[in-house]
Structure formats: structure tokens, C-alpha cells
Amino acid sequence: MTQRHISHPEPLPDCAAGHSARHIHDLRGLAAGGGHFVECRCRHTRKHAEPDAAIAEWKRVNRPARVRRTPEPAIVDNVVQMRLPGLAAGNAA
């Protein structure tokens, strides 16, 4: 068998579809199509000579979508509203 599953102490992040990932090392030479890659049921990375490169690609591709936060309105508590003379509460100019 030319492929070996590599276990990690910290699990790899799941893909965007929620499938669990596994790190595979194809023991053939790079010229023969070997190398390190990470795969799940629906996708896989390219084969890399270094295991860290395959894991980095997997994490980059399957990073959770960033949620854009809306800025909270600033609370202004140091403003004093002054009533202008000549304007009554019910009269509009």
C-alpha cells in the first residue's frame, strides 16, 4: 500500500460541508504523484512535498466565513440640548 493515514493530536478543521478531514501521505515520489494531502468526502488539497504546506492549504480553503459586524452606534452622553428662545413646544417654524 502506498498511502498512509497520519494522525494529529489536534484534529484538522472540517470542510465547509461539515465532513471530517484526514491527512494522507502518499509514499510514492513526487514525480510519480506522491506527497502529502488532506482530504474529506467532497474535496482534497493538491499534493505537497511538506506536510505543513498541505495542512496550511486545507485550513486556508476551509476557513469559516467571516461575519461582517455592523458598528454599534456611538452613545453620546456629553451633549446638552438647549431650547432656543421663541420656539414653543407645539409651534413649528
In the block, cell 496550511 appears at 56
In the block, cell 452622553 appears at 77
Per-residue pLDDT, 36: 93
Task: Identify the band that residue 55 occupies on the pLDDT scale cut at 50, 70 and 90.
Answer: very high
Give the side-chain half-sphere CA count within 13 A for 69: 3
Distance CA 13, CA 93 (A): 64
Per-residue pLDDT, 53: 94
More confident residue, 5 or 93: 5
Per-residue pLDDT, 92: 55
Asked if pLDDT for residue 38 goes beyond 80, the answer is yes
Mean pLDDT of the chain: 84
Domain spans of the chain? 3-8+15-61
Name the region of 66 (left: φ>0; alpha: ψ -120 to 50; beta: rest): beta
